[in-house]
Each structure stands twice: as structure tokens, then as C-alpha cells.
Chains A and B, each alone.
Chain A
Amino acid sequence: MDIRIDLPGLHLKNPIMPASGCFGFGKEFAQFYDLSDLGAVIIKAATGEKRFGNPTPRVAETSSGMLNAIGLQNPGVDSIIEIEIPFMKGYDVPIIANVAGSTVEEYVQVAEKISDHVDAIELNISCPNVKEGGVQFGTDSSLAEEVTRLVKEVSSVQVYVKLSPNVTDIVAMAKAVEAGGADGLSMVNTLTGMRIDPATRKPIIANGTGGLSGPAIKPVAIRMIHQVYQAVDLPIIGMGGIETTDDIIEYLLAGASAVAVGSANFKNPLICKELIDELPDALEKYGFSSLEEAIGGAHDEKTPSSLFRT
């Protein structure tokens, strides 16, 4: 089965890509498989200057997932353009840059610089782990609209806005960034959480709170994509807890056109490659004749489900 998919500014060989922050800038995973096999790569967040990030411990295991508070550690946009992106260009794979910042000016500056070197931008208005910026842009709809509009003005490539699940009305956020001119959505970033160690009586993560990822957040992400798919007319890259092809099909049915795999790369560094190889058979097993047929499939009540009709 053909699993290619075209999204604004992106021609993907398949709908599967590693999520930002879980794949570095690709180098570490290149020893496990050919990165050209991926649908795309979303690289680690870029900020205007180099950032060291938060104190350690930065991760904690949870039931069916993990918390992280890395704090956007990255070498800064110039160094990413000079050193990291050229490495990725050695592969035949679209590069999506994750753009972050503390101020509107920083977002704009990073987007302007990096957009000439990548295939698309994922605008990260949803990082819960930094004191300034990040999630505040992702929880206030007028700020979200404004930063999207200003980044769109300077970006030479399409802009996918990464939404935060830490809001009561995800549809309002999606509509705001659509009004700001977003070309697509990326859903979702991590859910803010905390774990406390009974022995020390303190949060395990030095930052106190962290972002929850993994299978624990999948039902939340699926619900949000299902809601947003009905309300806005933008393609969605879905993510949160993907570990199997069944998970991917669930995302497609909810309304995602492509998916990103995040923390599951830590458990199994080969996961993206394995899912790409398995997806055609998995779609066939559920009676789909194409990838497109699955996208948004949960919304169309007239679609016959061949699985239950044979």
C-alpha cells in the first residue's frame, strides 16, 4: 500500500516522524537505521541563543509514561544552522525545525533565520518547562494568534503550530492560530505534571513540574484532535504515546494526517523504522485501501467498516 502523504510544504514518503526533543538532531539515531526512511524529522527546539536548560534530575518515570523538564537546552539557532542541519541534509528526508522563544521577538528572529534552511517550521508555543515564554503563548489565544501571524510573515516555509494540551478549550486555541495564518497543527505537546518522592518529600524533577508524555497522554491527545478536526480546516500532525501501528491508526481516525513518535524512541531506538515497515499491513488488516481513507475516518458515519461487515 502506498503510504505517501502530502501536507502543506511537505512531501512525505510515509506519515511517521520522530517528535521534537526526542531525536536530538538525528545523529544518535543514524547509527540504528537510515534516516532517509523516515517521513520527516522534527529536530530539537531552537532558541535565539544557546540554552543550558534546567538543573537535573530532568526526567522521572510514571505509570505508562514519563515526566521531563529539559528546559529547551539547545546550542542556539546559529549553531543549529551551521552544524546540525548540514548533517541532516545528508539524508533524503524533510527537516522540520521546532522554533521556541521567551518573547515574540525571539520567536520571529529564530523563525526568520532557520526557515531558509528547513522544509517547515513547527512553532513551539507549548513548552511547559521554561519560566518565560513557551506555554504562555500556548494558553492565551490572542498571544498565540499574534505570534503565529508574526512568524508567518517572516517564514519562507510553511508553519505548523504545536498546541499545548494544558488548556480548557483546545478548539479556541486551534481557531486562534488558524486565524493567525497557520498552515497546519501539531498536537500535542506534553501535559504538565509532577511526581513527589515519599522518601525525600520533594518533587523528583529539580524543576518541580515536568511535561508528561507517553501512552498516559494518548487518550487526551486523541480527544483533542477529534475535537479540533471538526472545528478547523488545517492538517494535523498527531502525537502523544504512540508505540504501535494501532496507536497510529487511532490518530489517523481521529483526524491526524501524519504522526510523530516521541518518548517511545527511548525505549526502542528502532521504533520509527519498525512502525513505518508495519503500517501498510496494519492498515490493510482493518480494511483500509489507502492512508487517506483512514484520516478522519472516525468522523464519517457513512464510511463502511469492512472489518465488521465481512
Chain B
Amino acid sequence: MKVIEHKSIARDTYQLILKGDLIEEVDEPGKFVHIQINPEFFLRRPVSIADVDFHEQTLTLLYKVMGKGTDALTEKRVGDQLDVLGPGGRGFPVASLESKHALIIGGGIGVPPLYYLAKNLVERGIKVTSVLGFRSEADVFYEDEFRELGEVTVVTNDGSYGEKGLVTDVLPNLEPTIDTYFSCGPGVMLKAVTEHLPHLPGYISMEERMGCGIGACFACVVPTPDMDEKGYRRICCDGPVFKAEEVVL
């Protein structure tokens, strides 16, 4: 795909807009692309699709520099080509939802896929309330974009912006009309969120180190509760989005 725009939007965090045919296959929010950053890297890097513009044929990725691969990605310039596989995985099942008021809980670099999800939910007439957690003020991104879609609470671990604490600290104060939640972020956060909201149907989006990214190598598995016959799910193709009770966190 071709790089259309590439800019920094927060500390070590970048917005990358790519153009190409692949977008035709993005049929639901929550899917990811698998990027070959350059020939020096043996494995591809999975990155969530944060937004899609079918008219412009573009998709937006939001990524944070976490190591050598994402660091090398920052060197891509407008006009460069990027080797992208995808879209991979199964996303949020927006078409079959029975929700009137959705809660979105994003932590750090788990926020990106939730943006395209929130847009989809609003388009379907579902009310959206968002809680976005970041480490500190310098890490906050897409607050305004989410605010256009509904009410937003920003939480920072150090209290430098918004509420101080963890995303789970603000959950008790939310409106009782919320009937479904959607979450993406670090494993510990997902675990805490599902434990705080046992009474609500929820969907979580997970991360794991991948090999193939298409379901063939069994690198990315997550165990399922005992009664599940298969015993595992592959994050790259059965997920990354799961029903909260479908997997063991």
C-alpha cells in the first residue's frame, strides 16, 4: 500500500494513512493488517485498523514505537510503498449487536481499533460512551475524535490529564443505561475490566506475538474455559476480538 500521510500525534505515537485495494475487504471494525516493515525484519508486525475511508480508499493506522520494528516504521515517507497483508482476523460483530448504549474502554495503544468501532456503532444509532486510559498527558491521542462520537472520560495513571488512576476506577460512575462493553488494551487491563463488568455482555480485543498471522502456525493461541471442546483460540484468525467469556485472560 502507498503511504498518503504520516505524522506524530502524541509521544512516540504516529498516525499512518495508507491507500490500496485491501480496504475493500474491511467488512467490520477490529481487524488488523500485518506489515512487513522492511526486508531486515524476519516477522511482520500486526497493527489494528483504526479507521477506513472507502471513498478515498485509505485506511488509518495508529501505532506507538515499542521496539526496532515500529521505530523503523517511523522512517516511511509519503509516497513510499509498504508491504501489507490483510485485513486479518475477526473484528467486532457490529452487524448482529443488540445494543442501545455501548461503553468503550481503551488503554494506550489499544485505543486505535476502538475508534473505527465507535464510528460504526454511532452510524448504527447506538449511543457511545468512551473511557480512554493513558500513562500520562503526553501519551493522550484521539480524545477529540472520540468526543465527536459521544461522551469521553480520559484517565491518566499519573493524573497529569483528566482523571487520575486506572480505567476501572471510573467504571462505577458511568450511566446505568450502558448495556454492552468493548475493550482493547494491555492484558492486565482487559482482565480487570472483565472482572469489573461481569453483569454486562462484553467484547475484548487481544494481542499476542504472531508468526504467520493467518492461522497456520499456532504462535498466537489463548486458552479457553474448561467446557470449550477445542481448548484454544488463535488471536490472528479466530480473534483478535472475542466475547469476554470465550477466553481465559
Contact = CB atoms under 8 A, between A and B. Distances in A.
Contacts of B237: 28
A41 to B, nearest CB: 12
B73 interface: no
Contacts of A66: 42-43, 211
B196 interface: no
Interface string A252-274: 00000000000101110100000
Interface residues of A, number: 30
Contact of A60 (B41, B209, B218): B209
Contact of A58 (B42, B218, B223): B218
A144 interface: no
Nearest to A53: B218
Interface residues of B, number: 26
A22 B43 contact: no
A213 to B, nearest CB: 9
A62 interface: yes
B190 interface: no
Contacts of B85: 269
Interface in A79-121: none
Interface in A11-53: 21-24, 27-29, 44, 50, 52-53
Contacts of A73: 218, 221, 232
Contact of A56 (B36, B69, B209, B212): B209
A210 to B, nearest CB: 10
Contacts of A52: 221, 223, 231-232
Interface in A51-65: 52-53, 56-62, 64-65
B42 A267 contact: yes
Nearest to A205: B209
Contacts of B222: 56
Contacts of B221: 52-53, 56, 58, 73
A68 interface: yes
Chain B binding surface, main DSSP class: loop
B152 interface: no
A214 interface: yes
B128 to A, nearest CB: 32
A62 B219 contact: no
Contacts of A21: 217-218
Nearest to A72: B218
Interface-centre pick from A59, A60, A64 (highest chain B CB count, 10 A): A59
Contacts of A56: 208-209, 219-222
Interface in B187-219: 208-219
B36, B44, B211 interface centre (most CB from chain A within 10 Å): B211
B64 to A, nearest CB: 15
Contacts of A29: 214, 216
Contacts of B43: 59, 61, 66, 266-267
Contacts of A267: 36, 42-44
Contacts of A265: 212, 216
A290 B96 CA distance: 58
A73 B231 CA distance: 11
Contact of B217 (A57, A60, A65, A70): A70
Given A52-B232, A56-B222, A22 B217 contact: yes
Interface in B1-50: 36, 41-44
B37 to A, nearest CB: 11
B42 A61 contact: yes
B219 A70 contact: yes
Nearest to B229: A50
A271 to B, nearest CB: 12
A65 B43 CA distance: 8
Contacts of B208: 56-57
B90 to A, nearest CB: 14
Interface string A277-297: 000000000000000000000
A24 B213 CA distance: 12
B218 A22 contact: no
A24 B217 contact: yes
Interface of B: 36, 41-44, 69, 85, 208-223, 231-232, 237
25 contacts: A22-B212, A23-B216, A24-B216, A24-B218, A28-B215, A28-B237, A29-B214, A29-B216, A53-B221, A56-B221, A57-B209, A61-B41, A61-B42, A66-B42, A66-B43, A68-B211, A70-B217, A73-B218, A73-B232, A263-B42, A265-B212, A266-B213, A266-B217, A267-B42, A269-B212
Given A28-B214, A267-B42, 19 more contacts: A22-B216, A28-B216, A28-B237, A29-B214, A52-B223, A56-B220, A56-B221, A59-B43, A59-B217, A59-B219, A60-B209, A61-B43, A64-B42, A70-B219, A73-B232, A265-B216, A266-B212, A269-B85, A269-B212
